[in-house]
Amino acid sequence: MHLIVNQVFTGVVSGAVLVLLALGLNLIFGFMEIINFSHGAFFMLGAYVGFYLLTAFGSFWWGLALVPPLLLLLGAAVERTLIKPLYRRSAVDPLLLTFGLTYIVTQLVEMVAGKQGETVNAPSQLNFQLPLGFTSYPAYLTFVAVLAALIVLGLWLLLERTSLGLIIRAGIRDSTMIQILGVDFDRFRVLVFALGIALAGVAGVLDSPVTGVYPEMGNDILITAFVVVVVGGMGSFWGAVLSGLVIGVLVSLTTLFASVYASIVPFVLMILVMTFRPRGLLGTT
């Protein structure tokens, strides 16, 4: 029993980064109806920028503090220059563009940083075991889970308790209607895209002391993040949160009993959800 509890907690911690990544994807898809294939590349870019800031300033915290605003600006620039011209065109075009962007960003990182990857040390302040009653757990991983929970809460408050959030939620529900009502939809599109990219960047920084940084790191996690979005329900905020945690826990428990099947668990879950509940766990349409 002790081992099961331990494994469930580990799954929740592993799922926390997935949740952040999936929420960004979900926001962009829900508001802009774009499947952002470059999300994993920005996750990787956030991790690399965090690594270089750590190298330059000698502290992990610089990366965590600066990557979100930097990625926010980068996201806004990408939306204005590359994605905006495609809004009046077929929905396939932005998909292909972001698909190509993944390759470009990954190749650029490989050219600058090499293919080998780098390791990132967890901040020295969190380099200890935290007694949690049922187990002792690395303080850094506990911090990741707590910070991810705070970001989720902050994002929820932004969407639910502010006029900005009201417009975003209305845009997710019916973008035509808010344009008819006179909302400058274009201005909000850049904001939502930038916010989604910033979330990917934070997830990358938080994940870097766990997995290290390497050019393909975004490709590996993006597929699982897509599964999280589909299982949770396209566009559903709490669906992405629930689905990310459920997938984290299921993968963790499968690792305990049959590790070779752990990597297929998210896909089995997706097949089951799409068969029996096509709108996702908490999706509405």
Partner 1 sequence: MRGWLARAAGAAAFALVTACGVAGGQSTAGGSASGTPVKIGVVTGLTGTYAQLGEAQQNGAQLAIQELQGKAGNHPISVLVRDDQIKPDLALNQAKSLVQVNKVDFLTGCVSAATTVAINQVAKQAGIPYLGTCQTEALNRPPDFGPTTFHIAPLPSQDVNAIMPWICQNLGKRVYFLQPDYAWGHEQYDAEQKAAPADGCTIAGVTFAPLGTSDWTPYIPKLEAANPEVLMVGMAGNDQVSFLKQAKQFNLQSRMKIFQFLEDLSFDEQMGFDVTAGTYGATNFYWTIKDPGTQKFVKDYEKAYGKPPSGYAAYVYNAVMLIAKQVAAGHVTPSQFSKALAGSRFDLAEGPESIRACDHQSFQPTYIVQGLTQDEAASKGGSASYGYRSIVRTIPASEQQAPSCSELGLS
Provide CB contacts within 8 A for 108, sequence distance 6+: none
User: Is 117 a binder of partner 1 (CB under 8 A)?
Assistant: yes
Q: At 137, which helix (H) or strand (E)?
A: strand 136-138
Specify whether the CB–CB gap between 229 and 25 falls below 8 A.
yes
Provide CB contacts within 8 A for 82, sequence distance 6+: 97, 101
Give the residue from 180, 183, 47 showing the smallest Cα distance to 120. Answer: 47
Among 125, 129, 162, 284, binds partner 1 (CB under 8 A): 129
Q: Which stretch binds partner 1 (CB under 8 A): 81-89, 120-128, 159-167, 188-196?
A: 120-128
Query: Taking the complex as a whole, how short is the minimal distance between the CB of residue 61 and partner 1, in angstroms?
Result: 18
User: Is 273 a binder of partner 1 (CB under 8 A)?
Assistant: no
User: Is 59 a binder of partner 1 (CB under 8 A)?
Assistant: no
Among 192, 255, 269, 281, binds partner 1 (CB under 8 A): 255
Q: At 136, which helix (H) or strand (E)?
A: strand 136-138
Q: Name the H helices within 87-212.
A: 92-113, 139-161, 163-173, 175-180, 185-211
Binding mask 1-20 for partner 1 (x = CB under 8 A): --x--xx--xx-xx------
What residue ranges bind partner 1 (CB under 8 A)? 3, 6-7, 10-11, 13-14, 35, 90-92, 95-96, 99, 114-119, 121-122, 127, 129, 135-136, 138, 140-141, 209-212, 214-217, 220-221, 251-252, 255-256, 259-260, 262-263
